[in-house]
Every structure is written in structure tokens, then in C-alpha cells.
A and B are shown apart, each in its own frame.
Chain A
Amino acid sequence: MDVKDKVIAIIAEQAVLEPSDVKMDMTLEDLGIDSLGLVESIFAIEEAFDISVPFNANDPGASDFDISSVERIVAGVEALVADQKT
């Protein structure tokens, strides 16, 4: 499973959807994931990839980690994996 599939599987589980129903242009709001669900998803991502995601729930917009769509989250995780695994 590549990074994208793994991230989608994590998001799908949080949203209680099939991975095939998660589209790349969807937002967390589209997926029905609230702030608590988001913090849980980020934890699952950190555990799955053994990375540290820079994210402060007080101001998600100001964090370096872009959560505006599934695509941006996948791109963010790919970058973090590349950075932190070298």
C-alpha cells in the first residue's frame, strides 16, 4: 500500500466510509470529520508512518500541515515521510 492509499484508509475509517468513497478533492467537512476526528486521524497517520505531523488544534490554518482537502493531506504526508525518513 502506498502513502496515498494508507492515508485514504485512515481517513475512510475515521469517516466511517469505504476507501473508494473518499475522493481526493473532498474536505474534512465533506467527510463529516470534526476537530476531534481530525486529531485522531493525525495521530493514526503519525503511528502508521512513524512521522511527526506539525499540527496545533488551536489554529489548524496556521500549521505547516495543510488539511484543506484529502489531496493536500496526502501531499503533506508524502513530504513529511520523505523529510523524516532520510
Chain B
Amino acid sequence: MKRVVITGAGTINALGRTVPETLAAMREGRCGIGPLDIRDADRLAIRIGGQVRGFDPEEVFNRQQIALYDRYTQFTLIAAEEAIRQSGLTFEGEMAARSGVVLGTSGGGLTTQDENYRAVYEEGKNRVHPFIVPKLMNNAACSHVSMQYNIKGPSFTVASACASSNHAMGQAFWFVRSGIAPVMVTGGSESMLCFGGIKAWEGLRVMSKDGCRPFSATRNGMVQGEGAGIFVFEEYEHARARGAEILAEVAGFAMSSDAADIVMPSKQGAARAIAGALADARIDRRAVGYINAHGTGTTANDKTECAAVADVFGTHADDLMLSSTKSMHGHLIGGTGAVELLACIMALRDGIIAPTIGYEEPDPECALDVVPNEAREAKVGVALSNAFAFGGLNAVLALKAV
């Protein structure tokens, strides 16, 4: 089995347009959640989100590209550019033929669907732009990364709601670990902050109207975000041979399915995925210093997640730190695990633990060290990233300092 390392990272989200901007915001405990600036927001009951503000695609892409790139694809390409530039890789010959792109998204080109349903139903138009299908399809972002960088090996999109990007990164990890691919570009993207996207979530009545406060007794629901996180996963010897800077090692991955309920999370399902990732990485649970929580800010997730962590770690649960950066960037649904992996890398590389902001009052059902409100310095050797999706699909990654 090959060792797998991360040699590039890129992002765009409510906290920043790059990885350094995002990590600076996480260190400062800055909140990227605010009033939604979208069409027909006055008809929404939920009017806040972690929106990428002041973003003008015309500054980055030309008109032909914009005709083909939904907002989620635009986010993907911006983050991929940063990640691949950092890695220093160019994809050519045999290496390009064997390398791939596996990305996660839940809604894909939802904004494009929203706009065009509006055109035909609300505005009564009988004709839409010829590129609507290639723009809205949820493998569009993956294909554009592949085309732009000449990456010709195994490439596809993974959709498992809120666990999509963790599932995607898990596949990428396996491709590199097994020796199938020397390099995989992976992560995820989401752009669901459009009228139809928010309206659908409103229906579930699990959204907060005033903020995301994970693990706090005063929490009252989740807040959606948008953006992308993209990484370059590379075989360790391949990275070393070319003198690449290594950000962290991907040491293990596990998935589980609750097989129980379409929306309610299960402690057992979550615990099996966490314990599975540690077993896969051959890491003693006492070595884990930080967990980036799924931490959505709903009553059900946060207490179930804390119970699962307590079950897996026993007394060590009191010694590790667990924070939810969704409190700052919102819940990026299919892209969330990718942006959250940045907090794990920051913990391992910089020794800085991103906080759970908005924390007001302890909840006895979430009695762990959730790094409330302020970032903390700590030396961490192993970090986990949790993702537990609607439908009971769980995916946990284990990262190690190199």
C-alpha cells in the first residue's frame, strides 16, 4: 500500500477567496454568515447564509466560460487553480493518463436549474439557452477540472448529501493508496444559496433564522453556506521525489450507513465510521488531538455526534478538541467536508485549532471541549474530519502530521 499526502489546497467560501484568507478568518474566529443577497429573498423565511460576497465571475472567467460554468463549477475551478498551483504539478504523458478527479457535490448546478425553471414556468418562456444541460449536470465541475488540467484517469462525481466531499476524498485516497493513480484532484463544491435551494431546506424546519451555534445549548438549527475546497492527493514517494511541500498525510478513511432513518442521525453509524477511520489508519485513538466535527447546529446532530465521540474515545474524549467551523462558513452541504479539511490541516501544520464560534451556553448533552469562540494553540499529531449525511451515510477521514 502506498502512502498518500496532500500537496496542494485551494478554496473559496464565505470566509475567504484563498486558503490563507480562510485560515486567517478561522484563527480570528470571524463569522462569514450574514443576510442573503439573492433574488426574492423577501419571500424566504430563512434569510441568512454563508454567502461568497462581492464575487464577480466576469473578473475570473470569459463570457463563453460563464455560459458553461454554473456557480458551483466556478467555485471548483477557482479552488482547483489554487490547489494545483500550490502542488506545482503539471499533468503530462503517463502520469496524466493515470491521475484523476473525484469531486463531491449534492446539488450540482442547482442555481442553473433554479434560474431556468423560473424562465419556463414563471416567465412563461418556451426556449432556454442551449448549454443548460452541460451547465447543470453534477459532473460538470469534475469534467472542467479534468479538461483544464489534462487529467485523464479515473474521474467522476460523488453525491451523498452532506458527506459528498468526504466520500469523494475517500475515493481519491483509495485510488492513490492502491497505486491506481499517482495523483488525484479531489474535494467538493456547492452553490445552493438560490431561492429554490433555500426554500426546499426551509420546509424541513431545521434551519436557524439567526445564526449557527453548534454545541451551544442555545443552538436552533443549521445555516447554509457555499463555496468549494479542492486538494491534490499525491503518492508520498512521487511527492518526495520532486521535492514537493507536503501539507499533511491522509492516513485513513471509513464509511458507514446507518440503515435507519432518512433524516435522523444514528450514534452507532457515526461511531462505526470514526472507529473505522482510526482502524484503517492503524492509529491509536489516544493519538487523536483534534476532530473537525460535522457540528451542524441542529439539536439532533450535535448531541448524537458528541455521544458517538464519547463512545469511540472513552475517557480520551475529554482530552481531545472538537470544533465546528460551520459556525463561521455555514454548512456547504456537498462541499462542506472539503472546506473543513482545511481546519484539520491548520491544526496539524500550524498548531492552531479553529474555534466553534457563537457558543453561548454549555449543553450537558454536548459536554466536550468544543474550543468555544476563540482559536487555540495546541500541538496535534492526528486530526479527524467527520461528515454525517441525511440518509445516514457517514464518511470520516483521518489526517496525520508529516
Contact = CB atoms under 8 A, between A and B. Distances in A.
B221 interface: yes
Nearest to A35: B264
Interface in A17-58: 35-36, 39, 42-43, 52, 55-58
B203 A57 contact: no
A39 B300 CA distance: 15
A55 B262 CA distance: 20
- The residue in B206, B208, B262 that gathers the most chain A C-beta atoms within 10 A of its C-beta is B206
Interface residues of B, number: 15
A54 to B, nearest CB: 10
A58 B203 contact: no
B220 A55 contact: no
A57 B205 CA distance: 5
Nearest to A38: B205
Given A56-B221, A58-B220, A39 B299 contact: no
Interface string B181-217: 0000000000000000000000111101000000000
B204 A58 contact: no
A42 B205 contact: yes
Contacts of B263: 35-36
A58 B221 contact: yes
B143 interface: no
A2 interface: no
B298 interface: yes
B205 A39 contact: yes
Contacts of B208: 58
B364 to A, nearest CB: 15
Interface of B is mostly: loop
A35 to B, nearest CB: 7
B329 interface: no
B135 interface: no
A62 B203 CA distance: 18
A57 B45 CA distance: 14
A77 B374 CA distance: 44
A6 B203 CA distance: 21
Interface string A42-82: 11000000001001111100100000000000000000000
B299 A55 contact: no
B298 to A, nearest CB: 5
A30 to B, nearest CB: 20
Interface in B250-273: 262-264
A57 B204 contact: yes
From A52, A57, A58, residue with most partner B Cβ within 10 Å: A58
B17 interface: no
A77 B156 CA distance: 49
A58 B264 contact: no
A52 B204 CA distance: 14
Nearest to A53: B205
Contacts of A52: 45
Nearest to B301: A58
Given A36-B263, A58-B298, A58-B299, A43 B203 contact: yes
Interface string B269-295: 000000000000000000000000000
Nearest to B45: A52
Contacts of A62: 220
Contacts of B177: none
Central interface residue in B45, B205, B263, B300, by most chain A CB within 10 Å: B205
Contacts of A35: 263-264
Interface in B69-113: none
A1 to B, nearest CB: 25
Contacts of A43: 203
Contacts of A59: 220, 299
9 contacts: A36-B263, A39-B205, A55-B205, A56-B220, A57-B221, A58-B205, A58-B298, A59-B220, A62-B220
4 tightest Cβ-Cβ pairs between the two chains A and B: A57-B205, A58-B299, A58-B221, A58-B220
Interface of A: 35-36, 39, 42-43, 52, 55-59, 62
Given A58-B205, A58-B219, A58-B221, 20 more contacts: A35-B263, A35-B264, A36-B262, A36-B264, A39-B203, A39-B205, A42-B205, A55-B205, A56-B205, A56-B220, A56-B221, A57-B204, A57-B206, A57-B221, A58-B208, A58-B220, A58-B298, A58-B300, A59-B299, A62-B220
